[in-house]
Structure 1
Amino acid sequence: MNQAAPLLFSFASHPLTAPLARQLGAREGHFAHRLFPDGESYLQIQTEVQGLDVLVLVDLVHPNQKYLPLIFLTETLREFGARSVGLVAPYLSYMRQDIRFLDGEAITSRIFARTLSRHVDYLVTVDPHLHRYHSLDEIYPIPTQTVKGAPALADWLASQANLLLVGPDAESEQWVADIAAHSGHPFVIGEKNRHGDRKVDISLPDLRDYRGRTAVIIDDVIASGHTILRCIGELHRQDFSAIRCAAVHGIFADGSDQMLLEAGLEQLVTCNTIAHSSNLIDISPLLVKPIRDCLASSG
C-alpha cells in the first residue's frame, strides 16, 4: 500500500471529519462547491491528489441533493490522478425499496447501488437498513464494509444504572437483545403495526415489574419519529415518566426531534453519523479498522 497519508474530503462540516482524520493519520483535502443560479453544481478540487489514496466522507441523508455533487467530486478526483477513491457514508440511503411492491415501481436500492459503484472503489457504512437483503454484497459490486453501531450504543448505556431498554418492534429484537447483553440492562420488545409511512401503532407488554427504572427506547434510525412517539405514549400509559431515546442514525424529518422532546423525552441521543445536536456517541473508533482494511486492499 502507498505509505503516503490518505486524503480525506468531506462534504459540509461533518462531525466525523476531525476524529477520523486524526485516527487514520489522514490529511484533510479541500474543494470548492457551490450552485449556479440555475441550480447546476460548480466544483473545484483545491488539494493535489495525484497518486494518493482518497476518502470521501458524506452522509447520504437527503441523497437527491448530494448525489450529483458526490459524483462530480469522485470523478474529478480520478481525473486528477487519485490512486483510489473510497466512499465513507456513515448513513447510506436508498435501502428502503428492496422489492417491487406494486407493478411499475423502481427497485431504487439496486439502481442506486449499481450506479454509485461505478464511481468509487469501495464503500464503508454504518448499519444500513438491510431488510430483505442479507448483506450489501447482494447489490453492491464493489467491496463493502458494514460497521455495527450497537457496540457504541452499548458502551454508552453501560455507564448508566437502573435502565429498561425498549425495542419498538420484533425486527429490533436481536439488535436490542445484543445491546442489553453488553450493557447489562433488561429489555422488552414492542409490537408494531404500520398503516403507512407516518402512521404506526405500538403495543408494549406489561411493564409493572420495571416501574421506577428509566426507559430507553432503542432504534437504529429515527426518520419521521412516529414509531418513537407511539412508544413514548405507551410508556406514559404504563406510568413511566423518565424516558430517553438512543439511536444510531438521527434523520429527524420535519422537525421530529422537537416533536419527540415535547412529547416527553428527557434525553435524545444519537451517534455522529449524521450531524445533529443529539450527537453524544462517537462512532469513529469503529470505522478506523474497516477503512484501513479497504485502503490496504485497494493497493
Structure 2
Amino acid sequence: MSRVIINMGLEAKVVSELLAGINAELAEFESRTFPDGETYQNLITEVSDKECIVLANGVQPDSQFLSWIFMANNLKELGAKSVGLLIPYLPYMRQDIRFKPGECVTSRHFARMISDAFDWMMTTDPHLHRYNALSEIYTIPTQIVPAAPAIARWIKASVENPVIIGPDIESQQWVEEVASLVGCPFEVLLKERSGDREVSVSLPLRDDLMEYTPVLVDDIISTGRTMAEAVTNLIKCGWQPPVCIGVHPLFSDECVELLEHAGAQRVVSCNTLVHPTAAIELSADWSEALKQSSLMDAC
C-alpha cells in the first residue's frame, strides 16, 4: 500500500527524513486565503486507496485547525484508504478540568473534533496531567512517540557526568525515564505556583550529587520562569551551571534570555516545534514509529 505525506507545517528537514524513512510520496496541494479570510484548498496529488499522513505543527493551533480538518475531510472524499495525523506537539491539553463554572474544557472538545476528522493520531509526550491516557478523550487509535530516548542520546553525547533534574513533580515521568536510559541519577524539585507567572522552587537534593552536571528536563517550557527559578537556586547552592532541556519549546520571546540570565550554560529543546534551540532530533523516532505502527492497519 502506497503512502502519501501531506505537510501542513513541519520543517523541510523533518519531512525529508520521514519521506525517506517510510518510502512515502509528498503530496502537492494548493492552499490560499480569500480576502474575506476563508480558506481555499486544492489537492493535486492522487490519493485514492492510499494511506495518507497529515503532518501538522501544533503551535498557534487556532490559525491552522480548520485547514487540517478541511484537508482530512477532502482526503476521505477523494478516496484515501486512511487519513492519519502526525502532530509532534499536541495542543489543547492545558484545560483538562472546569476550574470555574462556565469554563470550557477545551481538551475534550479539541479531541472530539480531531477524532471526527482523522482515523488515527501520533504525537510526542502530550501534557497528560489529569488524564491517564489520550484514550480518555480521543476516540481514534493514538500512539505516543516518547522523546526520552532522543534526549538520552543527546545527553550521553553532550553532557559529562550528568544528573537529571525535574523542576516539579509533573516532570518526574520524563526525568526518571531519561535518567534510566542515560544510566545516571535523578532528582525532582518541588514547585509552588501563585498565579500564571509567579513560581517558587525548593531543592530536596543530595550533597553527593554536587559534582555532577545538572540537566533540567521538562515537557513544556513556556515563560521559563519555573526553570529559571530552579537554575538560580541550583547555582546559589553551589551547583554547576545547569543545562536546560524542554521537549516542546513553546518559548515566549524572553524565555531563552531569562534562562541564560539565570545562569543556564545551555538551553536545548526537541524538534517537535521549529526553534533555534531544537538540537535534539526525533525525526528518526517518528519515522521508525510510523514503520512499526499498527495504527494504519486498524483503519
Scaled by the length of structure 2, the TM-score of the pair is 0.92
CA deviation map 1:115-167 (0-9, x unaligned): 11111100011111111111111111111111111121112212332222211
Paired residue for 2:33?
35
CA deviation map 1:22-51 (0-9, x unaligned): 111111112222323333222222222122
Q: Does 1:246 align with 2:252?
A: no
Using the TM superposition, name which of 286-295 and 68-77 deviates more. 286-295
Residues 208, 238 of structure 1: 8 Å contact kept: no
Q: Unmatched 5+ residue regions in structure 1? A: none
How do 1:112-191 and structure 2 match up within 5 A? 112-159=110-157, 160-191=159-190
Q: Unmatched 5+ residue regions in structure 2? A: none
CA deviation map 1:247-275 (0-9, x unaligned): 21111123422332333222111111111
Counterparts of 2:224 and 2:110, CA distance in 1: 25
How far did 1:210 drift?
Answer: 3.1
Paired residue for 1:200?
199
How do 1:1-299 and structure 2 match up within 5 A? 3-4=1-2, 6-14=3-11, 15-159=13-157, 160-206=159-205, 208-292=207-291, 293-294=293-294, 296-298=296-298
Residues 158, 182 of structure 1: 8 Å contact kept: no
Q: CA RMSD in A?
A: 1.9
Using the TM superposition, name which of 69-78 and 201-210 deviates more. 201-210
Decide whether aligned partners of structure 1 residues 91 and 57 sit closer, same or farther in structure 2, where only a CA change above 3 A counts. same
Using the TM superposition, name which of 151-160 and 268-277 deviates more. 151-160
**Residue 216 of structure 1 aligns to which amino acid in structure 2?**
V
Residues 122, 143 of structure 1: 8 Å contact kept: yes
How far did 1:208 drift?
Answer: 4.2
Using the TM superposition, name which of 270-279 and 38-47 deviates more. 38-47
Counterparts of 2:127 and 2:205, CA distance in 1: 29
Residues 207, 238 of structure 1: 8 Å contact kept: no
How far did 1:218 drift?
Answer: 0.7
Aligned length: 296
Residues 167, 188 of structure 1: 8 Å contact kept: yes
Counting aligned pairs with the same residue, the percent is: 40
Residues 9, 28 of structure 1: 8 Å contact kept: yes
Counterparts of 2:21 and 2:237, CA distance in 1: 45
Decide whether aligned partners of structure 1 residues 147 and 13 sit closer, same or farther in structure 2, where only a CA change above 3 A counts. closer
Secondary structure of 1:16's aligned partner: helix
Residues 219, 247 of structure 1: 8 Å contact kept: yes
Secondary structure of 1:245's aligned partner: strand
